[in-house]
Amino acid sequence: MRAALARLSAGVSLHAFIEASTDWAFHMSESPGRQLELAERAMQNAMKLMTLASKAGLGSPHPFVPKPYDHRFRHPGWQAPPFLLWQQGFLAIQDWWDHATDHLRGLRPENADRTRFMARQILDTMSPSNFPALNPEIIEAFLASGGRNLTDGAGHFLRDMVKTLTQTHDPAPEGFRIGEDLACTPGKVVFRNDLFELIQYDAQTAETMAEPILIVPAWIMKYYILDLSPHNSMVNYLVRQGFTVFIISWCNPAAEQAGLSLEDYRTAGVMAALDAVGRIVPGSKIHAAGYCLGGTMLAIAAATMARNGDDRLASITLMAAQVDFAEAGELLLFADESQVAFLEDMMWDQGYLDRPQMARTFSTIRSEDLIWSRAVRRYFLGQEELPTDMGVWVADTTRMPAKMHGQYLRGLFLENRLTAGRFAVEGRVIALKDISTPMFAVATETDHIAPWKSVYKTKLFTDCDLVFVLASGGHNSGIVNEPSDRRSHYRLTHRPAGGLYTGPDDWIADASPEDGSWWPAWKDWLQEKSSGSRQAPATGAPAHGLPPLDPAPGRYVLQM
């Protein structure tokens, strides 16, 4: 019954949100001071709107501005009456609710945040930008096309509804084929088990650095975010700089793999890949790099290796990867005992967390842009979405096996065991402070999946030699940051082994921004941590049971 209820609510526990709103309502009813503040706020906002209306909005500063990530009111038509008043009225109400759901003495902070989230979702459905008669951009498109924008939009809506109901996907558009246009760096699959394929990329230089690089991507999406188009492929960049590069391509788990655990991803994933790389490039240590959840798993593996005296790692790079989840951003809105139990029930029934269920969670965090702005463009303006390499990758989602995802949500997200000294591997607790291998940690400024201050806490829980980088961009765009992008910038500082801790606010005040991509700085650091160059190794190791199997990108990346 619980699994069926979870499916009906798209995996969201209504109890968790009812509890939050009830907690907020009771504490608000007992806070006459806050009630007076909100009454005053409402009067101030109303006076600002009346003043704006009396001047017809012409030449006067706007009292309310959209949030930086809210692009619904960018069209110039929103700056003229009456559309300006509708826009400002909506933003005034949004401002009032932001203050109404602010933290309150006695109210659990997570319940205040959940209530704000719910209020924002309700308000977003009522935004004037969502209604054709109130949106100047839609009216302009209607007059220019004779109404064709609405008929085209209706066609888009029907096609999207059919795809949603049938759970089908459009094939990749021309120019964005996997293995031809995307994930196209030449290489070979040199190892395969039920969990992953290991790809070794062909050398593009006569000599390569002695230590190879093993990249551990997240399994919540497919690996080729790090091998997109040739111009912005991190893999291609590293190979051109003279590194031997390996990458894990995870399988897309089906219901029969529901029993895969976090420990399986460590042993049959990361450790099996390290063993294979060691057989192909014997006698060399390995630079290991992990992205997102892959970085979290790499940190767990590295701490376990340090505890066990395994010194095969030459360096560790963590990209947008969290080791502490106390400040994990808005994803924490979906992580409490009720919510995790609800998801566990649904995954018990299905065998996995399905792709649309994850996509909805990420979309609601930025619903202004990812849901409503997209809907307006597609259904009311009749615009086709122009394909991009990043967009094709985002749509190519994967499933999460039930056992692993339950352990991840409960052990890491909900109970934060890794940094609390309660995360056990093989029956013994591990500690990140055991890691002595040099580390390079990258966070991104506008990341709403792994907020930079949460990633920064890697410095708090480690004592090793560590370089911390804060790059411009978000969770994906800040990592896929090719050197040709002149709009980007980054901050970089070095903490020697055993150095004192500096808080994130003090750190960013002292760290000067540098123009350009962080990739060249990472490349220089990897070269510094290497022991020199050598003749490029052969592909695979047939003598050790690792012959080349298939051309890159392999089979698993094509699993639907």
Cβ neighbours, 10 Å, residue 553 = 25
- For residue 417, tell me if it sits in a domain: no
Could you tell me which of 292, 291, 330, 320 has the C-alpha nearest to residue 69? 330
214 and 87 in a common domain? no
pLDDT greater at residue 391 or residue 438: 438
∠ CA 166-401-550, rounded to 5°: 85
Cβ neighbours of 28 (radius 10 Å): 17
Model confidence at 396: pLDDT above 80: yes
Give the pLDDT mean for 178-207. 96
Structure confidence at residue 265 (pLDDT):
98
Is residue 526 situated within a structural domain? yes
Average pLDDT value for residue range 431-457 = 96
What does the pLDDT look like over 263-316, one tens digit per residue?
999 999 999 999 999 999 999 999 999 999 999 999 999 999 999 999 999 999
In a domain, 256, yes or no: yes
Do 549 and 457 belong to one domain? yes
Q: Is 11 helix (H, G, I), strand (E, B) or coil?
A: coil
Please indicate whether residue 341 or residue 276 has the higher confidence score (pLDDT): 276
List CB contacts of 351: < 8 A, sequence separation 6 or more.
254, 255, 256, 257, 258, 401, 402
Residue 381 has pLDDT above 70, yes or no: yes
- pLDDT the model gives residue 58: 60
Q: Could you tell me if 196 and 92 lie in one domain?
A: no
215 and 82 assigned to the same domain: no
Q: Under a CB-based contact definition with an 8 Å cutoff, are residues 295 and 324 in contact?
A: no
274 and 306 Cβ atoms separated by less than 8 Å: no
pLDDT at 340 over 80: yes
Do 96 and 204 have their domain in common?
no
Structure tokens of 94?
A: 């949004």
* 201 and 97 within one domain: no
Q: Which residue range forms the structural domain that includes residue 497?
A: 187-329+427-558
Measured between its terminal Cα atoms, the distance across the chain in Å is 28
Give the end of a domain, one of 103, 126, 159: 103
The structure tokens listed for 221 are: 């999406």
Examine the fold and report which residue of 88, 103, 118 is the final residue of a domain before the chain moves on: 103
Same domain, 325 and 435: yes
Q: Which residues are marked as active site?
A: 292
Cis before 32? omega within 30:
no
Residues 193 and 99 in one domain: no
Rounded average pLDDT over 66-86: 91
Same domain, 87 and 211: no
Phi, psi of 70 (to 5 degrees): -95, 110
- Does 381 fall in a domain? no
Residue 432 has pLDDT above 90, yes or no: yes
* Count of domains forming the chain: 2
Per-residue pLDDT averaged across 388-404, rounded? 91
Assign 3-class secondary structure to 193-209: CCCEEEEEECCCCCEEE
- CATH code at position 303: 3.40.50.1820
C-alpha closest to that of 194 among 126, 112, 118, 272: 272
Whether 311 and 441 share a structural domain? yes
Q: Is residue 472 part of a domain?
A: yes
Residue-level pLDDT at 359: 67
Which of 77, 103, 129 is a domain's end point?
A: 103
Tell whether 95 and 216 lie within a shared domain: no
The answer to whether position 69 is within a domain reads yes
In a domain, 98, yes or no: yes
Are 297 and 421 a contacting pair, CB within 8 Å? no
Whether 370 maps to a domain, the answer reads: no
Report yes or no: 441 and 458 within 8 Å, Cβ to Cβ. Answer: yes
Render pLDDT for 93-134 as a digit per residue (tens, 0 to 9).
Answer: 999 999 999 999 999 998 999 999 999 999 999 999 999 999
194 & 70 share domain: no
What pLDDT is attached to residue 419?
A: 96
